[in-house]
């Protein structure tokens, strides 16, 4: 187990390096010149060349990358070109918000998807199964930002209630802080829940038709034991894989949901940075997001080994 995790860790390093290069490359491909923009709007320097030199943007591309990488390893993500504040400082404030939102969304997705998926599989072609499957397709079809809009809009029209716009810090009011995440996290989790539920159902159906499951039935075991102990553990392995992909999607979704619900997280930070061509911020946010995804994939791989003792590299 330890050896397996260690090997996975080694494999993660090159993928992180490749990802870091892509992350560094992407914002440099943006059309429009940040130096030009800054000179016009904020008058940071006398002329283009001086400003470029000031920000280190006049040196060769690979030198910039190497220097950036060296700083990243030491925990320095540079400073925002607009606000002049260290990116890492800003991220430290915003990352917890996005992680909290994403984590809650994932929890919602799992606690909705697993029981419904199991129920739909063990009662295949029953009314609950049809309802669950139709709801799942609906969940995959309705755009999250529209549900979010309706959730904000309809109660406001019908009862004059709307969710609070002001962000509450955890230290100020614990319950109000968590409560403001419930709604966006739930809606963000719905689409993932639909995908996870469909896969759980399909995989469980596959497993339920295996010979050893019939043996379990033949031994006279109760349904609960056959499903939970003999079947679910084997069915859930591909589900864990999809969970890894869903984590990436949920993190992407935070961009939209932080916008709608006014949460000061990374997604919003990134969206503003892209619009302002703030290279260090775009790089920093993307790097953090990619690192989170790679880490989560590591966790997923470790879970494989836990779930299926046959998996060894």
Partner 1 sequence: MANHVQTLPASATPLSRPARRPGWLGVLWTFCRRKPLGALGGVLVLVMILMAIFANLIAPYSYDETIRGARMKAPGAQFWMGTDNLGRDIFSRVVYGARVSVSVGFGAVLLANFLAATIGITSGYFGGKYDICVQRVVDAWQSFPFLIVILSIMAVLGPGLLNVILALGTLGAAAASRVIRGATISVAQNQYIEAARAVGAGHFRIMVRYIFPNVAATIIILATIGLGGAILAESALSFLGFGVPPPYPAWGAMLSGSGRSYMYTAPWMAIWPGAAISLAVFGFNMLGDALRDILDPRLRGAGGGRLR
Question: Which residues of the chain form contacts with partner 1 (CB under 8 A)?
Answer: 15, 18-19, 26-27, 29-31, 121-125, 134, 137-138, 140-143, 145-146, 149-150, 153-154, 156-157, 201-203, 205-206, 208-209, 214, 244-245, 248-249, 251-253, 255-256, 259, 270-271, 274, 282, 286, 289-290, 293-294, 297
Q: Which is nearer to partner 1, 29 or 43 (CB)?
A: 29
Contacts of 287 by beta carbon, 8 Å cutoff, 6+ apart: 19, 20, 23, 72, 77
Q: Which is nearer to partner 1, 72 or 266 (CB)?
A: 266
Q: Which is nearer to partner 1, 54 or 210 (CB)?
A: 210
Residue 260 sits at φ, ψ, to 5 deg, of -70, -40
Q: Which is nearer to partner 1, 205 or 221 (CB)?
A: 205
- Least distance from partner 1 to the Cβ atom of residue 300, Å: 10
Q: Which is nearer to partner 1, 88 or 247 (CB)?
A: 247
- Least distance from partner 1 to the Cβ atom of residue 176, Å: 24
- Least distance from partner 1 to the Cβ atom of residue 85, Å: 22
The dihedral of CA 284, 286, 290, 293: what is its sign?
A: positive
Asked if residue 100 lies in contact with residue 59, where contact means CB atoms within 8 angstroms, the answer is: no
- Least distance from partner 1 to the Cβ atom of residue 260, Å: 8
Distance CA 58, CA 72 (A): 20
Contacts of 308 by beta carbon, 8 Å cutoff, 6+ apart: 234, 237
Q: Which is nearer to partner 1, 205 or 307 (CB)?
A: 205
- Least distance from partner 1 to the Cβ atom of residue 50, Å: 27
Distance CA 271, CA 259 (A): 9
- Least distance from partner 1 to the Cβ atom of residue 178, Å: 24
């Amino acid at each position: 187990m330890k050896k397996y995790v260690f090997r996975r860790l080694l494999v993660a390093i090159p993928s992180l390096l490749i990802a870091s290069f892509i992350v560094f490359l992407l914002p440099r491909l943006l059309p429009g010149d940040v130096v030009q923009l800054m000179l016009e709007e904020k008058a940071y320097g006398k002329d283009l060349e001086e400003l470029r030199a000031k920000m280190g943007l006049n040196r060769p591309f690979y030198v910039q990358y190497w220097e950036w990488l060296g700083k990243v390893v030491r925990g320095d993500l540079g400073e925002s070109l607009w606000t002049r504040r260290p990116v890492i400082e800003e991220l430290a404030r915003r990352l917890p918000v996005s992680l909290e939102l994403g984590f809650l969304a994932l929890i919602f997705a799992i606690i909705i998807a697993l029981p419904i998926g199991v129920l739909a599989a063990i009662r295949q072609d029953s009314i609950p199964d049809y309802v669950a499957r139709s709801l799942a397709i609906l969940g995959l079809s309705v755009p999250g930002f529209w549900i979010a809009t309706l959730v904000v809009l309809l109660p406001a029209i019908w009862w004059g209630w709307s969710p609070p716009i002001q962000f509450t810090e955890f230290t100020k009011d614990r319950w109000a802080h968590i409560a403001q995440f419930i709604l966006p996290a739930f809606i963000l989790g719905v689409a993932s829940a639909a995908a996870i539920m469909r896969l759980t159902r399909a995989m469980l159906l596959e497993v339920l038709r295996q010979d050893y499951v019939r043996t379990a039935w033949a031994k006279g075991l109760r349904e609960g034991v056959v499903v939970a102990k003999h079947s679910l553990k084997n069915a859930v392995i591909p589900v864990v894989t999809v969970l890894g992909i869903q984590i990436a999607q949920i993190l992407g979704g935070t961009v939209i949901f932080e916008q709608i619900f006014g949460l000061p997280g990374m997604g919003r930070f990134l969206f503003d940075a892209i619009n302002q061509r703030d290279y260090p911020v775009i790089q920093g946010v993307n790097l953090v997001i990619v690192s989170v995804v790679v880490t989560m994939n590591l966790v997923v791989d470790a879970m494989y080994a836990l779930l299926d003792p046959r998996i060894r590299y």
